[in-house]
Chains A and B, each alone.
Chain A
Amino acid sequence: MSSFLDKIGAELRRGLVQIAALSLLHERLYGYQLVKILAAAGLETEEGTLYPLLRRLEAQGLLKSEWDTGGTRPRKYYVLSEEGVKALPQLENVWSEISGAVGKILYGSSLELTEADTQ
């Protein structure tokens, strides 16, 4: 049972991290900064999950990245691309719809399904 819960939890988290990371990358951040911000917000994410995800988002054109070698050690910074800036509000709308719908189903007090809806 616990492995089932772990699996479901990991899948849910992976989907959420994608939106959360895109939202945070309005501002230029490097990977470890992002890990720390997500962890502080309660979304603990491993590097093995987050970094490949950032690369996928970059390959999809939603992010762009560059190495900054000016500091004590080189850091790879990520930020939303133009396409990412355009896509983010749409993703946020999708998230609002999903979270609203799931909230209604899980916490039935606000569920207002008429008989016609269920047929």
Chain B
Amino acid sequence: MTEPDLQAVRQWLDEAATSMGGQPARRRDVLLELETTILDRVDDRTKSGQVPEEAVRDVLEMMGDPVEVGSSFVPTRPLIAPHQTRPFVLQASVVFAAHFLLVIGATIADHELALGPLRIGPIADAKSILEVMARAAKTLLFDVGAVLCVYALVPRLGRIMRFPRVSLAVRTNTRRNIEGACFLALVLVVLNFFRDNLLALYLPDGDGVLQIPFVGPGIVDNLLLLNLWLGASVVREIVYAKVGETKHSLALDIVSNAIGLFCLLRIVATKRLVDLSQAQEALGTSADGIGAVLNTVFVVLALLTAAMLAARAVRRVYRFALLWM
């Protein structure tokens, strides 16, 4: 086999590795096994008279899309056991309906409802359809996250009702999540070009235009934010399970990572997670320093993303050039 042939095989394996995730040792194990299989297949073809470069091209084509092959090795773990999916959706829907009715109640009464640690405020501008939709989405994600926590903490609850099996599994792929987060950072930097203050995205009291209002800083609010993240992940997984992962994964990853990153930044920005009385002060005094650091992080992530996307494009073009020239 010539060097370009081997290069084509290596390119294919590199592509497969990008979607594999998991520990490096495990990845190496899988890649070595795939490599020997590819070379065995090429040997079989060349022994029966095929030209090596044609054999390599045919074998790689037969092996399929490397990214898809790589992702088939990503370990899956059930977030919700298959038999719990239906009751989970049902119970989350009931909780959401009750929660949103309370939100509407608070909006009509025009004052905050306090239910233990949970405060339900009115919709800021109930005449704006966007405000209502944003609040509904936030409420839904929160409730899905909350019910998920109950399932995680009290696993028996979900076993009480038995329903037909529906497959719902989470694919854990660190690399893809990082890529999604970087891509989001790129979008934020571009947005920041046209806005005065990126901080407004994650600091509720900022002066910028992109404000996403949440109730004040504090441990309860931060837990609520984490819950939103959980909820977003569950919604993403349900969509994956229903409509397939390959076509919609990028958009869904970006949305769920957007929420995840936002929640983390918001928690970092408040700094003091427990001391409710001083949290507002911490928010005010530390905004500049944290903002500067986060802006730098955003820019670095954005540059990384651009480099990654460019490298991927070049690699893909090179691989096809090797295969078809």
Interface bits A40-56 vs B (CB < 8 Å: 1, else 0)? 00000011110110010
Evaluate contact between B40 and A47: CB separation under 8 angstroms.
Answer: no
State the Cβ distance, B171 to closest chain A Cβ, in Å. 12
Bound: A70/B64 CA distance, A: 29
Is there a chain A Cβ closer than 8 Å to B125's Cβ?
no
Evaluate contact between B36 and A47: CB separation under 8 angstroms.
Answer: no
Which chain B residues lie closer than 8 Å to A48 at the CB level?
Answer: 63-64, 68-69, 72
Bound: A74/B41 CA distance, A: 15
Task: Report the nearest A residue to B16, measured CB to CB.
Answer: A48
Which chain A residues lie closer than 8 Å to B39 at the CB level?
Answer: 73
Evaluate contact between B64 and A76: CB separation under 8 angstroms.
Answer: no
Which chain A residues lie closer than 8 Å to B41 at the CB level?
Answer: 32
Evaluate contact between B37 and A35: CB separation under 8 angstroms.
Answer: yes
Residues 247-272 (chain B) with a chain A CB within 8 angstroms: none
Interface bits A71-98 vs B (CB < 8 Å: 1, else 0)? 0011110000000000000000000000
A32-B40 contact, Cβ under 8 Å, with A46-B64, A76-B29: yes
Which chain A residues lie closer than 8 Å to B63 at the CB level?
Answer: 46-48
A47 touches which of B29, B32, B37 (Cβ 8 Å): B37
Evaluate contact between A52 and B73: CB separation under 8 angstroms.
Answer: yes
Task: Report the nearest A residue to B62, measured CB to CB.
Answer: A46
Which chain A residues lie closer than 8 Å to B32 at the CB level?
Answer: 74, 76
Is there a chain A Cβ closer than 8 Å to B34's Cβ?
yes
Query: Ordered nearest first, which 4 A-B pairs have the shortest CB separation?
Result: A48-B69, A48-B72, A32-B37, A32-B40
Q: Name 11 A/B residue pairs within 8 A (Cβ), A-sorted.
A: A32-B36, A32-B40, A35-B37, A47-B34, A47-B37, A48-B64, A48-B68, A55-B30, A73-B39, A74-B32, A74-B36
Taking Cβ atoms with an 8 Å cutoff, the residues of A that contact B are: 30-32, 35, 46-49, 51-52, 55, 73-76
